[in-house]
Each structure stands twice: as structure tokens, then as C-alpha cells.
Amino acid sequence: MKSILFVCLGNICRSPLAEGIARNYIKEKNLDIEVSSAGTASWHEGKEPCERSIKVALEFGVDISKQRAKQVKKSDFTKYDLIIALDNSNLKDLQKLSNNAKNLQKLGFYGYNNECVPDPYYFKEFDGFYEVFKMIDTCVKNLINQNT
């Protein structure tokens, strides 16, 4: 595995966290893997991750503040070895866009009994971001360990 694309809905909460966690872990393990993130929707293109995602990531030593949202493209299905959806809805959208590409998986497959990573954007309490961060952290590290 040489490349991973993490995909959520808007590319401002979950997938930037996954990208940031993966980058740190890849650097720590001295691996050669390209990572990026994208959203299935285009609403936030060019915008930085949401403030709460930036804050929780920094608390765990992960800086995602320089990332900018982008929308997934058809060419991504051949560019990346793995396309990782953060929930079932994103997975279905990616399957439609790619005509069921073989390199699609759900992040929850790598931990948490294949559960979806909930979208914290709509959480009223900040604590939900901690839970989402921990869930993504576990799954991303398992994904990398199982594929290297």
C-alpha cells in the first residue's frame, strides 16, 4: 500500500482528522505512504477544517490547520490504493461514483466492530469530538499496521 484517501461528507471534520493522524503515524513509523482526504460533497471546498476538529487534533499533537477541503474525484479511484469512507452513507456515494471500485473500505472495519464514525459537526457538546478523534485514531493505526 502506497496511498490512502480518507473520505467523509464535507472534508472539514472526520477525514481531515484521519489524514492528520495518518500523517503523524506514518512519520513516526518511518513509512512511505501518501495520504490525503476529501469529501463527497463540495460545500466546503477550499475551507480549513472546522474549528473544533482543529482544536481536538492539536490537543493530541496533530496539526490539521493547514489542510483545505476538496471534493473526491473519479480520478482518485485510480490514484489511491485505498479509499476509506468514514460512514455507510459516504461508502454508498463512493460506490456509485466509482461503479463499485475494489479499493473502497469503511474505516470502522479496522476497529469498533465495523461501526460508522459519527459526524461530530452536528454535536452540541465538544466531548463528542474527543470520542470521534479516539475512534479515528484507533482505526487509522490499525489500518496502517494491517496494510504495511
pLDDT digits (tens, 9 = 90+) for 7-37: 999 999 999 999 999 999 999 999 999 999 9
Supply the mean pLDDT for the chain.
95
Q: CA-CA distances (angstroms) from residue 128 to 63, 89, 95, 121, 122?
A: 19, 20, 28, 9, 10
Question: 13, 14, 50, 116: which one is catalytic?
Answer: 14
**pLDDT score recorded for residue 121:** 81
pLDDT digits (tens, 9 = 90+) for 111-135: 988 889 998 887 777 788 999 999 9
pLDDT digits (tens, 9 = 90+) for 81-106: 999 999 999 999 999 999 889 999 99
Determine whether 23 is an active site residue.
no
Question: 93, 119, 137, 139: which one is catalytic?
Answer: 119
Confidence category of residue 80, pLDDT binned at 50, 70, 90 = very high
Would you say the pTM of this structure is higher than 0.85?
A: yes
Determine whether 63 is an active site residue.
no
Determine whether 87 is an active site residue.
no
